[in-house]
Each structure stands twice: as structure tokens, then as C-alpha cells.
Structure 1
Amino acid sequence: MGNQSVISIEAVIDYIESHLDGKLELETVAEAVHYSKYHLHRLFTETVGMTIHDYVQRRQLTEAAKLLVFSDKPIIEIAFICGYESQQSFSLAFKAMYKSPPAEYREERSFYPLQLRFILHRRTTAMEFTIQDIRLAEKKDIVDWMNLMRLVIDGYPVMDEDDYLAKLEESIDEKRALVLREGDILIGAMAFTYSPGSIEFLGVHPQYRNRGLQKLFLDALLETYLQGQEISTTTFREQDKADTGHRDMLLQLGFAEKELLTEFGYPTQRFVLPPKKQEDIQHG
């Protein structure tokens, strides 16, 4: 992806961020940045990993969630501030993403972002990566890791940053955190546990996401750290509107669906990669 298209998408994101209080249709945005709808749709989706419509909706609802928890504004007013034309349409959209209606979410007093502002890198290359490029994370990776986490936050419901940071420091101390860098850009990160074997976090920078890096991390895990063990992880349940594709990714990697869970009050599902399946992956 050229530098030019990154700069264009940065302009689009700037425009969206300053117009979160209005109706942000693809058409409106395309006109504002002088692009055809078709071209903008393709470029944005390729760069950010979701459509403008999804990104806008997730950004608006994140701002709404923030206002519900940190302000006393009436819900109808928050609906208008965040680009919705009625309280009903706002409540439906909010509940689909946050799993509870606005009033109930407000009572919980516990804000978490669905989507943070997207930050892009201008220097990405088409380098090929191998398992050898993946190494154990160090303390100096923490800042970049937290930034990557904010970029892939769509995959992690109910994300609490302080709590996450404490867990990350522990993972690094205990040598169960892996990173993949390209120069000064952290493009992938994985935190895991040894017994039972599980993947706690797997994030790949969206600008690199079509490069098979999830599988590379999984291979590194199977070869070096969790040989012959069953590996489990959790993700969204089927049909969850908040899922931008994380469930499909696990299925593509060979994970099988297990029981439904509720974590931090959020409906999730456990997925497992059995040892037999791992041999197929490694020799396939």
C-alpha cells in the first residue's frame, strides 16, 4: 500500500473524528475528501480492516459509552450528539454492540472502548516474515504493544487498560509474550499461558493482516512453547455484531468451537486447537 493512500486515509479518519456528531455516510465522507465512493470504500477497508460504516458506528458508540459513564447528559441528548436521529435507533445499535441498553450500561459505571481512533503507519513494506523473526517480548516493547492493542481493540470486548498493562508486564516477566517487529513498528504480538495452554491475546497490525502472521505466531507457539498441548482461547459468540472477523480467523486457523462462556459480564465462546489438529497444521 502506497504512502499516498495512507495519507488519504489519515485525512478520512481526521474528517470522521471531527464529524462524529453527524450522519457519516460513505457518500458524505467521499465528497469531503474528493474520492469516488467505490475507491474510498475499497481503500478504507483494505487499510483499516473494516468498512467506513462499521468504523464510524463503532467510534460513535464508543463516544456515546464514554458520555453515558462520565457525563450526566440525558440519553436522548447523547443519541443526538453521537449522530443518531432517535433514541430508539441509538438504543438498538448500542445494545447490539455493548450487550446492555444505554441506561443499564450507565448504571454499571464501567466504560470500555469498542473502537479507538485509528493510527496508521506510513512505512510498511512487503517483507516476508518467518518464525525466526518472532521473539520474546521485553520491557521496551510495552509502549508499542499497548498501541497495537488499541489498534486491534475490536477483537477484545471489555478491555480495561490498567488491568491489561499489569497482565502484560507479568506475561513479559514470565516469558510468555511474543512479538514480531519490522524496524520500529510492532506488527504482531501474542500473550499465552503454559498450563493450561491458552492464547490470551493475539494482535496483528491491520495494515499487515493479510500476510498470514496469525498462523506464524501459532506455528511459533506450537514449535517452541506449547508442543503437543491443547491450546484454548476465547472470542465472540456466533452472530455477535461486535465481532469484526476474529471468530472466522480462529476457525480458519483450525480451532474448534467449545462451550459458551460469560467473561467480565460479556457473552463469549471458548475455542480449542487439539494436538492432532496441530500436527496437520505443522505438516500441512
Structure 2
Amino acid sequence: MEKIMEAVFGEKNDFKSWIELVKIVSGNFPGLDLECYKNILIEKIEKKETLVIKDGEKVVGALAFSYEEKEISFLAVNPEHRSKGIGLKLVKKVISLFPLGTKVTVITYRAGDEKGENARKLYKKAGFSEGRLITVFDYPCQEFIYIVK
């Protein structure tokens, strides 16, 4: 079994590799505007609201979140590195950054949407519960909720 790399805060020198990952997985993110995303990513890196797992210098797993909104806003794992525990490691790390009792949310695909099967399994494995059904960028989604223990 391969060693799972460590989840650490993203840094400015991770930006280019992170964007390369975003380009690979962009089809899974309805409404993603890459130029707008780049600006947000720079801010999030500066605010220590990004986590990465790297293979050498290459970002193979990336997670963006908000301390203020208490939410995971982006999670992606390079398709070549899936099923290695990278996504779960990132989610567990972000949960550990919030105080006990905090309600952390994430928006993902609804049940029955094959694009979201793996994401839904991951969040459930991490202990998230299904929440309300919503629509984001004209796409049917669902909120998942985790109460930090």
C-alpha cells in the first residue's frame, strides 16, 4: 500500500500546480470561472484557507475552505491519485482546524448523480450527514453537514 502524503497548508509556490489540477477536474465543477477562481485562490492561500497533498512538488489533492463561513468550498484529487485516501486525509485535516461543536458544511452533488458518487461516499465516510437540497449555478446539489467532535 502506498504511503499517504501529509495534508499541509497551501503556499504561494503551490498555485501553478493547484491550477493545473483544477483544469484536469474542471468538468466536475459546474459554473467554475477559472479567472475568478485564480483570484479567490490567491486570497485563500494568503489567509491559510487551503490545504494540499503533494507528490513531490505536484499538488495531487487540494481543499479550499472558509473559517468564517465554516465550509469546504473546493475539494479535488487528481484522477491518477484517487482511491489512496487523499480526499479523506484532506477532509479530516480541515475538520481538525475548527473548534469542538462547530458545524462545518460542504455542498456536493445530489444522490443519483453519478458525478457525485465518490464525493458523497467520501463525505459520509468522514462523518458528514446529508442536509438540505439546494441549487447552485442552476445545478441540483445537496449540503452535507459535520459537527466537530
TM-score when scaled to structure 2? 0.87
1:248 is matched by which residue type in structure 2? K
Q: Is the 8 A contact 2:63 2:74 kept in 1?
A: yes
Q: Is the 8 A contact 1:155 1:244 kept in 2?
A: no
Of residues 185, 202, 206, the one that matches 2:75 is 202
SS in 2 for 1:243: helix
Map of 1:227 onto structure 2: 99
SS in 1 for 2:30: coil
1:240 correspondence with 2:117: no
1:145 correspondence with 2:12: no
What's the Cα RMSD here? 1.9
Q: Deviations over 1:163-205 (max 9, x none)?
A: 2111111111111111111212211111110123110111112
Deviation at 1:255, TM superposition (A): 1.3
Q: 1 or 2 for the larger relative contact order (CA 8 Å, sep ≥6)?
A: 2
1:217 correspondence with 2:90: yes
1:164 correspondence with 2:37: yes
1:191 is matched by which residue type in structure 2? A
SS in 2 for 1:245: helix
Equivalent residue runs for 1:1-284 within 5 Å: 127-129=2-4, 133-223=6-96, 225-228=97-100, 229-243=102-116, 245-275=118-148, 279=149
Q: Is the 8 A contact 1:139 1:172 kept in 2?
A: yes
Count of matched residue pairs:
148
Deviation at 1:144, TM superposition (A): 0.6
Q: Is the 8 A contact 2:106 2:145 kept in 1?
A: yes
2:88 is matched by which residue type in structure 1? K
The structure in which a higher percent of residues are strand is 2
Distance 2:85 2:48 in 1: 24
**1:257/1:165 Cα in 2 relative to 1: closer, same or farther (>3 Å)?**
same
Q: Deviations over 1:45-95 (max 9, x none)?
A: xxxxxxxxxxxxxxxxxxxxxxxxxxxxxxxxxxxxxxxxxxxxxxxxxxx
In terms of mean alpha carbon deviation, does 241-250 or 228-237 score higher? Answer: 241-250
- The percentage of aligned residue pairs carrying the same residue is 28
SS in 1 for 2:62: strand
Q: Deviations over 1:94-137 (max 9, x none)?
A: xxxxxxxxxxxxxxxxxxxxxxxxxxxxxxxx64135xx22221
Structure 1 unaligned blocks of 5 or more? 1-125, 280-284
Distance 1:273 1:164 in 2: 25
SS in 1 for 2:83: helix
**1:180/1:253 Cα in 2 relative to 1: closer, same or farther (>3 Å)?**
same
Distance 1:158 1:209 in 2: 23
